[in-house]
A and B are shown apart, each in its own frame.
Chain A
Amino acid sequence: MFEITPTEWTAIELSLRVAAVATLVATPLGVALAWLLARRDFWGKSLLDALLHLPLVLPPVVTGYLLLLTFGRRGLVGGWLADYLGIVFAFRWTGAALACGVMAFPLLVRPIRLSIEAVDQRLEQAAETLGAAPWRVFATVTLPLALPGVLAGMVLGFAKALGEFGATITFVSNIPGQTQTISSAIYSLIQTPDGDAAALRLVVVSVVMAVAALIGAEWFARRAVLRLHGN
């Protein structure tokens, strides 16, 4: 009953790879955006903020379809990327990573933004008077102090990416070994007559990974408080 079969392992391994790649690519972007939203005022800021949160409130199937229209083989961006850079998203694991990254992005950015906002700007001023150029202020003061928030965001984003289903299956379908993540594997299994046991095994795996991620995020958040108080 608790023996995990090779097909299930493939789905677990693919999910981990997709979530890891999505998180690693999304993090630098997320940090940049979080900093922009936390520290700068500019025209269209609330629009950007709304756009960022869109994947959280749109039906995932809509996000997936929009991705298909944009990044599909004949999509505006997808066609260009395929022709000039040889990067194909449609029906590949890379597409699953893209879909998961987009869906996880709001969850990843939020803790980072909050932790950057919590960094005392007077410390940044002090750094400036000590000769630190703006990017070095960011690298030596803002980012280290916000680091626990960045890690919390990464953990949350990773957990979300791990469980993403709607946008992924819409964008890249459900091909075993190619785009079949844990979620889509469970979905297939519960529609197969004898799939219950296998589905249950994957459910247990998902629950364990999600709980671990939440505990991890909480732990990083508590570290952030300690760090800001200088102990």
Chain B
Amino acid sequence: MLRVDVTKQLGEFTLAASFASEGRVTGLFGASGAGKTSLINMIAGLLRPDRGTIAIDGEMLDDTAKAVHVPAWRRRIGYVFQDARLFPHLDVAENLDYGRRMNRLGDDSEQRRRVAELLDIGHLLDRRPGKLSGGERQRVALGRALLSKPRLLLLDEPLGSLDEGRRAEILPYLVRLRDEARIPMVYVSHDPAELRQLATQIVMLHRGRVTAFGGVKVMTG
């Protein structure tokens, strides 16, 4: 259960969003500039709301009235960025292992094997990010976030920087992830077709405000 009720002033732009979502995949839908990225940056803890609250499963992560702000590194929220952001000085295996090390989790070779298989990245382990294709990079980024064992996974247009063919290559992995990984996700996209395939609930964002909430049908309205 994710509850968000925040306002944030970003220059001329006002973001004032409020929603609660129980879905497996919450699709955050809107045109570019609607405030989608700022909103999930706030959920991740990378951006502080001016006012309001953010809570997961009843745990308060942000509550400006009580000066509560759990820093990003303590939230256990995974984040897959549009531009992958793999660590260039580490090989793929070390990138995948990073979240486990930072959260001081025990070694879980079974999960590692499962994620590598799910995303088909087992053959890339000793490569550097500079030697990967865009699609491979995005799959590794997905694996890296999953292996940190987050309680919520944020995906910010993970297909946004890929061409048509690559998108079709990654999408099935995301569907498998939704059905197999059992981690609730917030999936940001401006592409209704993508969200129809993935999302179980839609939060529609327009110029910093939530204009519709419900099943994937709300996108046609």
Contacts and interface: CB of A to CB of B under 8 A. Distances in A.
Interface of A: 120, 122-123, 125-134, 136-137, 140-141, 144-145, 227-231
B88 interface: yes
A230 B128 contact: yes
Interface string B104-140: 0000000000000000000000001111000000000
Contacts of B128: 230-231
B79 A230 contact: no
Interface string B59-83: 0000000000001111111110101
Contact of A228 (B45, B74, B75, B88): B88
A128 B46 contact: yes
B79 A126 contact: yes
Given A230-B129, A230-B130, A129 B88 contact: no
A120 B78 CA distance: 19
A141 B131 CA distance: 19
A141 B102 contact: no
A130 B85 contact: no
Contacts, number: 77
B86 interface: yes
For the complex of A and B, 9 pairs with smallest distance between CB atoms: A230-B88, A230-B130, A131-B102, A130-B99, A129-B79, A131-B103, A126-B85, A132-B102, A231-B130
A131 B89 contact: no
Contact of A125 (B46, B74, B99): B46
A122 B81 contact: yes
A229 B130 contact: yes
B85 A132 contact: no
Interface of B: 44-46, 71-79, 81, 83, 85-89, 98-99, 102-103, 128-131, 144-145, 148
A122 B156 CA distance: 14
A136 B102 contact: yes
B73 A122 contact: no
Contacts of B75: 129
A140 B95 CA distance: 11
Contacts of B44: 129
Nearest to A227: B89
A123 B73 contact: no
Contacts of B148: 130-131
A126 B128 CA distance: 17
Contact of A129 (B46, B83, B89, B130): B46
B152 to A, nearest CB: 11
Given A227-B89, A230-B128, A122 B83 contact: yes
A141 B95 CA distance: 11
27 contacts: A122-B83, A125-B72, A126-B79, A126-B87, A127-B102, A128-B73, A129-B44, A129-B45, A129-B78, A130-B78, A130-B99, A130-B103, A130-B144, A130-B145, A130-B148, A131-B73, A131-B76, A131-B148, A133-B102, A144-B89, A145-B89, A227-B89, A228-B88, A229-B88, A230-B86, A230-B88, A230-B129
A124 to B, nearest CB: 10
Contacts of B89: 144-145, 227, 230
Nearest to B86: A230
Nearest to B129: A230
B99 A131 contact: yes
A145 B88 CA distance: 8
B77 A129 contact: yes
A109 to B, nearest CB: 22
A138 to B, nearest CB: 12
A128 to B, nearest CB: 4
